[in-house]
Structure 1
Amino acid sequence: MLEDKVLSFCHKHQLFQEGDHIFIAVSGGADSLALLHFFISIRDRYQLTVTALTLDHQLRGEASRQDVQFVEEMCQKWEVECISKSLDVMQYQARHKLGVEEAAREVRYQYFEDELSQKPNPILAMGHHGDDQIETMFMQLTRGVFPKGVPSKRSFANGWIIRPFLCLTKQEIQLYCDDHQLEPRYDETNADEVYTRNAFRKRIIPFIKKYNPSIHQSLQNMSEYMYEDEKFLFYQAEKMVEDCVQTGNKPDDIKVDLNQLKAHPRPLQRRTFHLILSYLYRKKGIDFSSIHVENLLYLLETNKPNLHLDFPGGLKVMKVYDHLVLTFTENEIHTYHKAIYPGESLILPNGIELTVQVEDLMEIPEENTRYEFVCDVSHVTFPLIIRTREKGDKMKVRGLGGRKKIKDIFIDEKIPKQEREIWPIVTDNQGKILWLAGLKKGEVKSSTSNHKWLRITLDYKSFT
């Protein structure tokens, strides 16, 4: 019996257990109606609580309103709780600049998440079947995405999404509806080949099943094997992300240590980049493909020190020597020229706090870190000027015995190009460069009889 086949699949994959609260996503179509009927038929045996969730996407006018009404009536007949809602997908689509299918999916899943988040350990059952698995995997292949397919179980909200019908074909579900006198609603948009999935369903899948009627089972097995392998590999990649990746001032600013990443096998490098892109695009509603991962692998392997790529959605990818920087907004060039006196501090546009003090000490004070600069105050004219670099800038570097171009110092220190434009330079009022902050300290004369010292400090915690 079909019911036994589904139960066997559920037990194999541990989709639910006795006493669970099962929410069923019900559109009124054959797949979801059969799924609702199936769980109603076993709810007493497994002491399940069953709740139907149905949504009017407002895409088909009166027809979609009638779908919701149909689901509500069936739930009343079967004595099942039904939670229904109506949401304007077209408005959401316009606001977020998405395709209709994508917008509908986001609205639908947000509705599900809102409902499930209010319950402890909820399970959302969805009516995806074996033919859907074929469609999904072949669509992923044509987009250049690794064909993972649809998982039978995955975490969602504070519970799980399960798909008990992945072991069935569309034809088997239709036979189930016929056997139980179920009369599902029909969505005419399912026949419209404007939608990619419908085109696959009507043209590609029948051709493939002609040569292998059981291909859904073969692909389901393959999907399960790959899921287990991927789960392990992505677990390893997640540990690599912790070691190789840093976030910037904004959560969506990512910096990758390429030297650390190179020490790992290519399959883990690939999955690390996949995790990074998934994280960055998580709220963008944008798909990336294998070509974007391969582009990142190229940047990892090439010896070229400075490269720039544009990815979908305005994502900028910059290779800066042995690091990779990914951000959705390029750093704007903030030139500045600020005066400061002893006893004052200021916040620079890049978030760095700089403080100027004069200390009265008998001995030469120590410079504890590269984020401090100390010199004889008698050879400095105030106010000090904190500015960005200017063309032709040179400084007399302490201990070097000569002058060096600021540009060459940046190159030697491997400072990214976008950071050079905002890097703070400290001069006195006559233009003498005292300090290329955090990098090189200027040579300043000292008087043996002097007891007053200039100390400039940076808040190094915010200093990149």
Structure 2
Amino acid sequence: MRGGKAVLDEIRRFVARRGLLEPGDRVVVALSGGPDSLALTLALHHLRTEWGLDLHLFHLHHGLRGEEADRDAAFVREVADRLGLPCTVIRRDVRSEARSLRAGVEAAGRLVRYRALADLAGQLGARRVAVGHTRDDQAETVLMALLRGAGRRGLGGMPPARPLGFGAGPEVTLVRPLLAVGREDTLALCRAAGLEPRRDLTNEDPRFLRSRIRTELLPLLRDRYSPAVVFRLAALAEVMRDEEGFLRRAAAEAAARHGVTYDPRESRLPVPALTDEHPALARRIVRLAGESAGMSLTARHVEAVLDLARSPGGGEVHLGRGLVAEKVGDVVRVRRRERVGRAVTAEGGQPVPLPVPGSVAWASAGLTLSATREDPDAEPAAGPWAVDLDPDRLPGPLAVRTRRPGDRIFPVGMDGSKKLQDLFVDLKVPRPDRDRVPVVVAGDQVVWVVGYRADRRFLAAPGRPRLALRARPG
């Protein structure tokens, strides 16, 4: 086991090499009280003076472990006092939230945790949210992906940095400064500081796949096959991420050479782009067409599109959720087929019903809004022009209209509720544009201010049915 100074030096080098933090950053640090998050807190506190970091600790009291959870929260407050750092402890009944969302406790806990982190980062104006995932966590993630049959992107595991999401702005980044060190290293840091971290036995619960991999599979592989298995799996993840990034760029360049056009309404793939290029690039050209339409295509569907491109004559392949690939002449078109409902042009200030499935044309903003039902395991929405809602939580049928006096929303990434007027002011929406912004309502409740914010009360949780709302030009 390395000493505390060696571990700190390794973390410092990794943070600098990956550009995870910049001098003067305000950072929200997720501290559960366990060894990994405690080591993260100690490491960033050590770097605080050198890098001019402004640290704020965060702890979620999830209400799952009774008095043990109370002691976790008390321990976090003691650490914050000892280090002289501000600390926010938020209490949530995750079990009740799981029942409300009809999701597992683990999924609900993750959703509640990251939403709370996004809200706090927004309140504090923090650009970074740091979590304590280690090299061992990375190895577990790669094994989970391997067992599920993932490709290169899945085998890339957890990136050192990514947009936080969960309603936080695009400038808020989730960072993982401990990916270069292991669990033994985090324990060394805690002991060097004279602190005994808390232990959460739910991390060893065999009902969860990750727990079984952590307590059964990885020890078996380490003891019986390779003592360096964790290092090798983490190194594999880094190679896979780098190669996936390179191949995606190469595919984008190949697509440009062949005149491929990507559009949410209809992507056009000239046949030579799919038949003349290396299969690794051709597959990614097809995947990019799916992503443009808001879908993550399965390997089976990608191969079906390539077979269609190679086949003589025309034809059509159904890709699921209303998406089809159609070969017409020398072009494969990937487009979404409207299954039910027709576009309705919205005029005046009256609400226009939004059928499910179906669409509404919003002429004043140059947009078409669509609503479709999605599978629980579908790729989640991303960006300001897409939102996934839980149909069982909506208080009424969907409609589209302009804002009205007194309209309120509980905006994702912000605290409490806001009047739409105040939301537009906060987001610096030009005054002439405010009466053209489409507002999606369910009954008398605002659920989405299109292009700006959704109401966090109605968002779909992992594993729940999804009502996918999308906005596209046209």
Q: Aligning the two structures, in what range does the TM-score lie when normalised by the shorter sequence?
A: 0.5 to 0.7
Q: 1:231 to 1:40 in 2, by over 3 A?
A: same
Tell me the number of residue pairs that the alignment of Structure 1 and Structure 2 aligns.
327
- Counterpart code for 1:190: N
* 1:111 alignment counterpart: 116
* 2:221 alignment counterpart: 208
Q: 1:57 to 1:295 in 2, by over 3 A?
A: farther
Shift of 1:127: 0.8
Q: Find the partner of 1:218 among 204, 229, 232.
A: 232
* 1:159 alignment counterpart: 172
- The answer to whether structure 1 residue 182 and structure 2 residue 195 are counterparts is yes
Shift of 1:130: 1.0
* 1:316 alignment counterpart: 322
* Paired-residue identity, %: 27
* 2:128 alignment counterpart: 123
- The answer to whether structure 1 residue 244 and structure 2 residue 284 are counterparts is no
Shift of 1:303: 4.8
1:375-416 CA deviation, whole Å, 9 max, x = no partner? Answer: xxxxxxxxxxxxxxxxxxxxxxxxxxxxxxxxxxxxxxxxxx
1:42-61 CA deviation, whole Å, 9 max, x = no partner? Answer: 31232221111222334444
Q: 1:138 to 1:277 in 2, by over 3 A?
A: farther
More deviation, 157-166/195-204: 157-166
* 2:156 alignment counterpart: 148
Q: Distance in 1 between matches of 2:311 and 2:212?
A: 40
* 2:389 alignment counterpart: none
Q: Distance in 2 between matches of 1:106 and 1:236?
A: 34
Q: 1:145 to 1:292 in 2, by over 3 A?
A: farther
- The answer to whether structure 1 residue 33 and structure 2 residue 38 are counterparts is yes
Q: 1:36 to 1:290 in 2, by over 3 A?
A: farther
Asked if structure 1 preserves the Cα contact closer than 8 Å seen for 2:60 and 2:90, the reply is: yes
Shift of 1:350: 8.5
Superposed counterparts of 1:189-204, under 5 Å: 189-204=202-217
Superposed counterparts of 1:213-362, under 5 Å: 213-237=227-251, 240=255, 243-248=260-265, 255-257=267-269, 259=271, 261-262=273-274, 264-275=277-288, 277=290, 290-303=299-312, 305-309=314-318, 311=320, 315-322=321-328, 323-325=332-334, 327=336, 331-332=339-340
Superposed counterparts of 1:371-450, under 5 Å: none
Q: Distance in 2 between matches of 1:350 and 1:164?
A: 44
More deviation, 44-53/83-92: 83-92
Asked if structure 2 preserves the Cα contact closer than 8 Å seen for 1:193 and 1:199, the reply is: yes
Q: Distance in 1 between matches of 2:277 and 2:106?
A: 38
Q: Distance in 2 between matches of 1:308 and 1:266?
A: 19
Any unmatched runs of 5+ in structure 2? 1-5, 165-169, 343-357, 362-472
Superposed counterparts of 1:56-75, under 5 Å: 56-75=61-80
Asked if structure 2 preserves the Cα contact closer than 8 Å seen for 1:54 and 1:68, the reply is: yes
Q: Secondary structure at the match of 1:167?
A: coil
Shift of 1:40: 1.4
- The answer to whether structure 1 residue 14 and structure 2 residue 19 are counterparts is yes
Any unmatched runs of 5+ in structure 1? 249-253, 335-348, 353-460
Q: 1:219 to 1:21 in 2, by over 3 A?
A: same
Asked if structure 2 preserves the Cα contact closer than 8 Å seen for 1:9 and 1:167, the reply is: yes
Superposed counterparts of 1:32-51, under 5 Å: 32-51=37-56
Q: 1:259 to 1:294 in 2, by over 3 A?
A: closer
Asked if structure 1 preserves the Cα contact closer than 8 Å seen for 2:24 and 2:54, the reply is: yes
Q: CA RMSD in A?
A: 3.4
Q: Distance in 2 between matches of 1:167 and 1:142?
A: 23
Superposed counterparts of 1:94-109, under 5 Å: 94=99, 96-109=101-114
Shift of 1:204: 1.3
Asked if structure 1 preserves the Cα contact closer than 8 Å seen for 2:262 and 2:292, the reply is: no
- Counterpart code for 1:33: L
- Counterpart code for 2:327: Y
Shift of 1:101: 2.8
Q: Distance in 2 between matches of 1:109 and 1:76?
A: 24
Asked if structure 2 preserves the Cα contact closer than 8 Å seen for 1:244 and 1:258, the reply is: no
Shift of 1:32: 0.2
Give the TM-score normalised by structure 1: 0.61
Shift of 1:174: 1.9
Q: 1:276 to 1:139 in 2, by over 3 A?
A: farther
Q: Distance in 2 between matches of 1:80 and 1:48?
A: 11
Shift of 1:103: 3.1
* 2:398 alignment counterpart: none
Q: Distance in 2 between matches of 1:319 and 1:101?
A: 37
Q: Distance in 1 between matches of 2:297 and 2:62?
A: 26
- Counterpart code for 2:172: G
Q: Distance in 2 between matches of 1:232 and 1:162?
A: 22
Q: Distance in 2 between matches of 1:295 and 1:100?
A: 37
Q: Secondary structure at the match of 1:106?
A: helix
| Greater length-normalized contact order (CA 8 Å, ≥ 6 residues apart) | 2
- Counterpart code for 1:229: E
Q: Secondary structure at the match of 1:16?
A: coil
- Counterpart code for 2:15: C
Q: Secondary structure at the match of 1:246?
A: coil
1:190-231 CA deviation, whole Å, 9 max, x = no partner? Answer: 111110100111111112223333333333333333322322
Shift of 1:142: 1.2
Q: Distance in 2 between matches of 1:52 and 1:279?
A: 38
* 1:173 alignment counterpart: 186
Q: Distance in 2 between matches of 1:269 and 1:54?
A: 45
Q: Distance in 1 between matches of 2:304 and 2:107?
A: 26
Q: Distance in 1 between matches of 2:121 and 2:85?
A: 17
Q: Distance in 2 between matches of 1:268 and 1:232?
A: 10
- Counterpart code for 2:246: F
Q: 1:325 to 1:86 in 2, by over 3 A?
A: farther
Rg comparison, structure with higher value: 1
* 1:385 alignment counterpart: none
Shift of 1:152: 1.8
